[in-house]
Structure 1
């Protein structure tokens, strides 16, 4: 074992000792990148599987926010997420320890069950309006969630303007593109439905939808807030989309307004601009196409 591997092993052992009281031999140990901005390990001790991920000193508060996100969704009882076992700092690194999610073959009703459970999650609302009590992260991008009574205003101010402003500052978009967004902001109140806020996962694509040991859904890596549930459904269409049975089950349990398919590109401007800021200008053609349409 290399010195780096020994140091990582000792780092993980300290976390286990603190939060699980485990001092036994680690039976299985798989190290890998946990997303784009942190490291992670999946390990097994006796019959228990754990999942630990940690930052490399950047993005302070990322895992503290994720732990809150997981606990917020878990408290609804609507859909399964990993149980948080511990969150903190060690050796100037922030870490998050969770139960491991063991996988099995999908049940035949996996997609229908998933759609129903997401609809039930979205039926959780709040009187505070659109937002959340704390800032969290989508990927490594801070996500501002200050409460706003009007959902369209929240989407413009706390979602689009934050990302457009950052992209303009970093010269990833031109002033002309930013001006097109300004024109769009004026039109959005007449284009988006003014729905009550719904508790949403916030980063719902196929990579964050896991099949658990029962062959059903477990969601991971949430960046939740109370917002437009249509924004969540629009996000699921990115990177391949979900099975049609998922959408049919969702709509049967919590119907949405007509014309949703025409609104999908508007909602997806937010994750696309997040990708522009995190990963580069390769996502700009899709952004420009949407702006040209609307």
Structure 2
């Protein structure tokens, strides 16, 4: 099935044009004048996980997410949101509203969104979402060690280097403050912060119950427009809600960047492996 057929079957209407918008994402025009996005999943469960994540993150309206029109095992059809400029006003609203979204909470660390599969994806990498008793257990078991093992198998880490990550995992309870599980986007790099005319929309989530500092660290990994305004507004918003960020949260950025760095290393290779090692060493100093 191609993008045209997916839109006709999952949403309906006469398709008048299909344009690739990047990778496996297509902008599909309809005779009604409407445009929708058709996105092909990267693997089993990918479309179901993304659809569930979009609905979960957008449930209370703290931050908008594209409306899901339909999905099957191969395709996800959703609302098209035209892009807009990254303004300071939009950045400040985004930071405050992200703080509110995180406080919506989750049933447990590692839990998938309601209706979402346990076996999900972050980009093109498989990712396991499984409810865990606490954040250190979840982060070690499902976010750090599986990708360390992948990197060892690929020859990217020596056994001594792998043991460094194991040592870090043993100390996670001391390195990060205990917090209740937050409702997080999970892959909040700049490409998934969609600036529109009415502010920031969240797209392409890897949503799960996690540590809120994880989303903040991801915003900083590859750089995000208006980053300092976003982070400042987030901190103010969390303070106003009575749930201020714990002291030292900026120093813990490398800890929360370990997962995306390891995932990228497992998929793309050595440069990310070196960055992950540097982050682990910084955490253990």
**C-alpha deviations, 1:176-214, integer Å up to 9, x for none?**
111111111222211110111000000001111111232
1:266 counterpart (255, 258, 280): 255
Correspondence for 1:121: 101
- State yes or no: 1:43 paired with 2:28: yes
Shift of 1:233: 0.6
CA distance in 1, matches of 2:6, 2:122: 25
- State yes or no: 1:277 paired with 2:266: yes
Q: 1:44 to 1:292 in 2, by over 3 A?
A: same
Structure 1 runs of 4+ aligned residues shifted over 4 Å read none
1:157 counterpart (141, 145, 169): 141
CA distance in 2, matches of 1:238, 1:193: 21
Q: 1:283 to 1:265 in 2, by over 3 A?
A: same
Shift of 1:285: 1.9
**C-alpha deviations, 1:77-128, integer Å up to 9, x for none?**
2111111111114xxxx111111111233455111011011011100113x3
CA distance in 2, matches of 1:78, 1:40: 26
> Is the 2:156–2:269 Cα contact (8 Å) retained in structure 1?
yes
Shift of 1:228: 0.4
Q: 1:107 to 1:184 in 2, by over 3 A?
A: closer
- State yes or no: 1:72 paired with 2:56: yes
RMSD between aligned alpha carbons?
1.8
Correspondence for 1:132: 111
Query: Secondary structure, in 3 states, of the residue corresponding to 1:98?
Result: strand
Shift of 1:24: 5.2
> Is the 2:8–2:15 Cα contact (8 Å) retained in structure 1?
no
Q: 1:49 to 1:285 in 2, by over 3 A?
A: same
Correspondence for 2:65: 81
Which structure would you say has the larger Rg?
1
Instruction: Summarize the alignment of residues 170-185 of structure 1 with structure 2, pairs less than 5 Å apart.
Output: 170-185=154-169
State how many pairs are aligned: 271
Query: Secondary structure, in 3 states, of the residue corresponding to 2:44?
Result: coil
CA distance in 1, matches of 2:262, 2:232: 29
Correspondence for 1:17: 8
Shift of 1:54: 1.3
Q: 1:62 to 1:156 in 2, by over 3 A?
A: same
> Is the 2:4–2:28 Cα contact (8 Å) retained in structure 1?
no
Q: 1:99 to 1:179 in 2, by over 3 A?
A: same
Shift of 1:173: 1.7
Shift of 1:63: 1.3
Query: Secondary structure, in 3 states, of the residue corresponding to 1:82?
Result: coil
Correspondence for 1:5: none
Structure 1 residue runs of 5 or longer lacking an equivalent are 1-9
Correspondence for 1:95: 75
Correspondence for 2:209: 226
Correspondence for 1:3: none
Correspondence for 1:244: 228
Query: Secondary structure, in 3 states, of the residue corresponding to 1:240?
Result: coil
> Is the 1:42–1:49 Cα contact (8 Å) retained in structure 2?
yes
Query: Secondary structure, in 3 states, of the residue corresponding to 1:218?
Result: strand
**C-alpha deviations, 1:5-34, integer Å up to 9, x for none?**
xxxxx83332222233212533xx321433
CA distance in 2, matches of 1:290, 1:144: 22
Query: Secondary structure, in 3 states, of the residue corresponding to 2:104?
Result: coil
Query: Secondary structure, in 3 states, of the residue corresponding to 1:270?
Result: helix
Correspondence for 1:292: 281
